[in-house]
Amino acid sequence: MTESILEVTDVELSFAGVKALGGVSFDIRGHELFAIIGPNGAGKTSIFNVLSGVYRPQVGEVRFAGESILGVAPHRIAERGLARTFQNIELFENLDVVDNLMLGRHHHLGYGWPSAVAWLGKARRAEVANRRRVEEIIDFLEIESYRHLPVGMLPYGVQKRIELGRALAMEPRLLLLDEPVAGMNGEETEDMARFILDIRDELQIPMILVEHDMGLVMDLADRVMAMDFGVPITIGSPHEVQNHPDVVRAYLGTVDDAATDVIEEVSSR
Amino acid sequence: MTSTLTPRRAPRPPRGRPLLRTSYAQDMGLLNTPAKRSSTALVILAAFTVPFFVTDDLLLIFTLGLIASVGAIGLNLVTGYAGQVSLGHAFFLGIGAYTGAVLGGDPEGSVTGYGLPMWIWLPAAGVVAAVAGLIVGPVAVRLRGLYLAIVTLGLVFLGEHIFREARTFTGGPGVGRRGPDLELFGVDFAQAGTLFGLGLSRDQQQYLLALVFLIVFAFLGRNIARSGVGRAFSAVRDRDVAAAVIGVNLTVYKVMAFAMSSFFAGVAGALYYAVVGVFEPGAFGLLLSIQYLAMVLIGGVATISGSIMGALFITSLPRIAQEIAHLFPVISTSTAGGGIINVFQFEAILYGLLIIGFLIFEPRGLFGIWMRIRNYWKGWPFSY
């Protein structure tokens, strides 16, 4: 088996007595789409914040591309190739779409402030070259018509897409998607699902997906990790996970036939 | 790799389709539409002809306005673009002013002066102020918003105290000292002379010098704003956590914003008081910081052209207040009395009203007003 891009081992994170994560372990294999599900407060977003360097866990180890990233500053982790989107859109709303995506390419620019101030050949060439890459992503995500509009003015579904674009612009080796279809209508969800599949199959970027839309998770994910109260319940294929009794208990409280039927019905939608 | 693909100069758009882009370089140009090119050329040309139509007393106000624009661009970099509210701009202006005055001042005077030429004292004023900014910058990494504003406010008081006590450099309160001599490339701008075969008065020469400096610094400011550096500033301003997660080093860019802003302030301070002549430590109080913040707010946050408009407007405000006072006898033109309020009180009221008015009705400042006019005429005779 190929070396995994991400290995998380026994990570524990607490905030003054509140245990957010209690012994989380998993790894990402190849360019798979790994989904994390769980009820609200299960610690899904906490995992993302640990991975991107916003939180530092008290116990455990996180190895990204073979190196430990614990205690590494968020911008350094980004430079190593870890990109993420946010549950609540975190775009730079006063800047236009191109500038937001260009910011995703910030560490690819490769020129310092002296050439920026003078706009010397180096800065100009780097800007044009990176603009070309940004346009490829604009083309990929079909957001051409919004190119020069401030993102704060754009509709919610488009903003979600631009946030994905900003993460893609970083040319990540691992992409973390935090609820990419939350609050979207059916059509927007289908579009986003298609982009996610294209990212996995065409761009071959491994992804970790946190999502409440079970239909989407079960259709798309290669493997699923279910969590509750900061502890993983099980890791396995979508089918295994949705029939796991502890998972059903976490979502619905008790296991009986009626509940299983509901789960089946929801997940088959 | 791309250098072979990218021609040195972007190809021109085809004839008859001036807004069609055929390369990214065209789209990313500083003046990327024919309208922007011609209007900028027109404004610069008009600015160069102003000294030949305007009386010298008005011209001096414009000169100071142009120099203040450089300082306002600096403040807009740190506060407008990078979002770090700074009340300490007066401190950096003061550092620049005194660096310029000490290095370029008269060696035989009662205060310290080294009589160095302008091409040394002017960049030095910027550099010394930038170093001061570098020292203050790390504070901004720990604090933000109002807390940062309070710390930078402390900086102003600290600076005022140092300027007051360092009498050998500053002359002390009530006495002051002379600014450096404005002499560049053998031309003495502090007195009437001939420039390019034209007989010019002192004020005309100083105006032209200030204009050239402003054009240079406005260009540098725009470059910072449109490059990766400016984008990183805006990212830090809008969402700092997201900025860090996509790879922007918050510490580096916050400190850089302060250093760059202070460089602009240092240059502006040195030039401004070289034109003014004698100045004393009291000039660098909180009021000066507020004036510069007003320039940024009234001109337009996070715009270079707005900074210039705001600076010109705020510098002319005392004169505008005076002209209004002449029209209405209710406002007396001196402190001796006569009307209900005197012109200085009127000016202070005008200040307050303008800041409040702009914040409520036109948060994008004079630049916002200009955008509205522009968009109206772009679509004319249709509304959209």
- ipTM of this complex: 0.85
Q: Is the pLDDT of residue B250 over 70?
A: yes
Cα–Cα distance list, B11 to B7, B72, B118, B212, B323 (Å) = 8, 35, 40, 29, 51
Cβ <8 Å between B229 and A116: yes
Residues B261 and B133: beta-carbon distance below 8 Å:
yes
Domain boundary among A171, A197, A224: A171
DSSP structure class, residue B227: S
Do A60 and A100 have their domain in common?
no
pLDDT over 80 (residue B29) = no
- Whole-angstrom CA distances from A188 to A129, A142, A154, A197 are 31, 12, 14, 14
Q: What is the pLDDT of residue B338?
A: 66
Q: Assess contact for B347 and B109: CB atoms under 8 A.
A: no
Identify the band that residue B3 occupies on the pLDDT scale cut at 50, 70 and 90. Answer: very low
Does B307 score more than 90 pLDDT?
Answer: yes
What are the C-alpha distances in Å from B35 to residues B18, B40, B302, B372, B377?
10, 8, 22, 16, 12
CB of A196 within 8 A of CB of A33? yes
- What three-state secondary structure class fits A185? coil
What the block records as the tokens of B230 is 């400016």
Kindly state whether A269 is in contact with chain B, defined as any CB-CB distance less than 8 angstroms.
no
- Please write the tens of the pLDDT for every residue from B91-148: 999 999 999 999 988 888 778 888 888 899 999 999 999 999 998 888 888 887 889 9
**Which uninterrupted H or E stretch holds A62?**
strand A59-64
Query: Residue B223 is nearest to which of A54, A116, A166, comparing CB atoms?
Result: A116
- What span, in angstroms and rounded, lies between the C-alpha atoms of A264 and A160? 29
Residue A225 inside a domain? The answer is yes
B6 touching A (Cβ < 8 Å): yes
Note whether A124 contacts B: Cβ–Cβ < 8 A. Answer: yes
Q: B47 — contact with chain A (CB < 8 Å)?
A: no
Q: What does the longest C-alpha to C-alpha distance in chain A come to?
A: 71
Task: Please report, in tens digits, the pLDDT of each residue of chain A (269 residues total).
Answer: 457 899 999 999 999 888 899 999 999 988 899 999 988 888 899 999 999 999 999 999 999 988 999 989 999 999 999 999 998 899 999 899 999 999 999 988 888 888 888 887 888 888 889 999 999 999 999 999 998 899 999 999 999 999 999 999 999 999 999 999 988 989 999 999 999 999 999 999 999 999 988 999 999 999 999 998 889 999 999 999 988 888 888 887 765 666 667 777 777 76
Provide CB contacts within 8 A for B155, sequence distance 6+: B87, B88, B91, B136
How much is the pLDDT for A257?
A: 62
CA distance A149 to A156: 14
- For the record, the structure tokens of B375 come out as 């968009």
Query: Residue B346 is which amino acid?
Result: F
Across the range B246-262, mean pLDDT stands at 93
Question: Structure tokens of B140?
Answer: 């901004």
Domain match, A57 and A180 both: yes
> φ and ψ at B128, to 5 degrees?
-60, -40
Kindly give the residue spans of alpha helices, DSSP state H, lying in chain B: 2-5, 24-27, 34-49, 56-75, 89-104, 118-142, 146-165, 167-170, 202-226, 228-238, 240-245, 250-276, 286-299, 304-327, 343-361, 365-379
Q: Does residue A181 sit in the same domain as residue A269?
A: yes
A63 lies in some domain: yes
Q: Please give the angle made by the CA atoms of A122, A124 and A129, to the nearest 5 degrees.
A: 95
Residue of B nearest to A134 (CA): B24
- A&B contacts, CB < 8 Å: 122
**Interchain contact B375–A (C-beta under 8 A):** no
Name the domain boundary from A145, A171, A197.
A171
CA B199, distance to chain mean position in Å, is 29
pLDDT of residue A146: 92
Does the residue A86 lie in any domain?
A: no
Question: In total, how many domains does chain A have?
Answer: 2
Q: How far A150 CA lies from chain B's nearest CA (Å)? A: 13
Per-residue exposure over B137-150, b if at least 16 CB sit within 10 Å of its own CB, e if not: bebbbeeeeeebbe
Main-chain dihedrals φ then ψ at residue A14, nearest 5 degrees: -135, 150
Q: How far is A143 from chain B (nearest CA, A)?
A: 17
Residues of A in contact with B248 (CB under 8 A): 75, 103, 106
Question: Is residue A87 one of the residues assigned to a domain?
Answer: no
Residues of chain B with Cβ-Cβ distance to A103 below 8 Å are 231-232, 235, 243, 246, 248
Residue B227 touches partner A, C-beta closer than 8 Å: yes
* Interatomic CA distance for residues A250 and B340, integer angstroms: 76
CA distance A256 to chain B (A): 43
Nearest to A30 by CA among A174, A186, A190, A211: A174
Find tokens 């993460």 and name the residue: A167
Please report which confidence band the pLDDT of residue B345 belongs to, taking 50, 70 and 90 as the band edges: confident
Give which of B277, B214, B196 is closest to B62, Cα–Cα: B214
* pLDDT higher than 80, residue B195: no
CA B170 to chain A, closest CA, distance in angstroms equals 32
Residues A184 and A267 reside in one and the same domain: yes
CATH code, domain with A239: 3.40.50.300
Is the four-CA dihedral B131, B137, B139, B142 of positive or negative sign?
negative
Within 8 A of B244 by CB-CB distance, chain A residues are 53-54, 73-75, 78
CA nearest neighbour of B250 among B142, B153, B165, B371:
B142
A39 contacts A20 by C-beta, under 8 angstroms: no
B243 vs A118: CB contact, 8 Å cut-off? no
* Span B73-87, pLDDT tens digits: 999 999 999 999 999
DSSP helix/strand/coil, A199: helix
pLDDT(B348) > 60: yes
Whether residues A130 and A246 share a domain: the answer is no
Q: Does B248 contact A at CB distance below 8 Å?
A: yes
Assess whether A121 and A4 both reside in one domain: no
Chain A residues with beta carbon closer than 8 angstroms to that of B239: 90-92
Q: Which has the higher per-residue pLDDT, B288 or B378?
A: B288
Nearest neighbour of B246 by CB, restricted to A78, A111, A127: A78
Residue A52: CB atoms within 10 Å = 22
pLDDT of amino acid B117:
87
Q: What is the mean pLDDT of residues B330-349?
A: 77
Task: Report the Cα B246 to chain-centroid distance in Å.
Answer: 31
Cβ distance of A92 and B228 shorter than 8 Å: no
Contact (CB, 8 A) for A221 and A35: yes
Q: Given CB atoms, is A102 within the 8 Å cutoff of chain B?
A: yes
pLDDT at B2: 43
Distance CA A78, CA A250 (A): 34
State how far residue B235 is from chain A, nearest Cα, in angstroms. 6
Q: For B14, what's the count of Cα atoms within 13 Å in the CB-facing half-sphere? A: 3
* pLDDT tens column, B291-303: 999 999 999 998 9
Identify the residue among B227, B240, B250 best suited for mutation to test binding to A, counting A beta carbons within 10 A and taking the highest.
B227
Asked if B229 and A54 come within 8 Å (Cβ–Cβ), the reply is no
CB of B79 closer than 8 Å to CB of B296: yes
Please check the confidence at residue B257 and state whether its pLDDT lies above 80. Answer: yes
Same domain flag for A31 and A105: no
**Probe site for chain A from B231, B251, B253 (most A CB atoms < 10 A):** B231
Looking at this protein, which amino acid is placed at residue B184?
L
Q: Does B25 touch chain A (CB under 8 A)?
A: yes
Please name every residue paired with A83 in a beta bridge, in sequence order, or none if there are none: A175
* Whether A255 and A196 share a structural domain: yes
Residue B143 forms contact with A (CB below 8 Å):
no
Residues A263 and A179 in one domain: yes
Helix axes B250-276, B118-142, angle to 10 degrees: 140
Determine the pLDDT at residue A269: 67
CA distance B237 to B202: 43
- Chain A contact for B302 (CB, 8 A cutoff): yes
Q: Are A167 and A100 part of one and the same domain?
A: yes
* End residue of a domain, out of A171, A189, A211: A171
Going by C-alpha positions, the residue among A128, A21, A106 that lies closest to residue B234 is A106
Evaluate if residue B384 carries a pLDDT over 80. Answer: no
Which residues have CB under 8 Å from B368's CB, separation 6+?
Answer: B300, B362
Beta-carbon separation of B248 and A106 below 8 A: yes
Lowest mean pLDDT of A83-97, B22-36, B52-66, name the range: B22-36
pLDDT category at B336 given cuts 50, 70, 90 is low
Q: Which amino acid is at A54?
A: V
Print the domain residue range for A220.
1-81+172-269
Region of B318 on the Ramachandran plot (φ > 0 left; ψ -120 to 50 alpha; else beta): alpha
CB A10 within 8 Å of CB A60: yes
Q: Are residues A76 and A128 in the same domain?
A: no
| Structure tokens, B134 | 């570098």
Could you tell me which residue, B381 or A243, shows the higher pLDDT?
A243
Domain identity same for A22 and A58: yes
| B21 and A CB contact within 8 Å | no
Cα separation values, A256 from A22, A248, A260, A262, A266, Å: 28, 9, 6, 10, 16
Which residues partner with B128 through β-bridges? Answer: none
% of chain B at pLDDT higher than 90:
46
Do the Cβ atoms of B2 and A91 come within 8 Å?
no
Query: Are the Cβ atoms of B242 and A117 closer than 8 angstroms?
Result: no
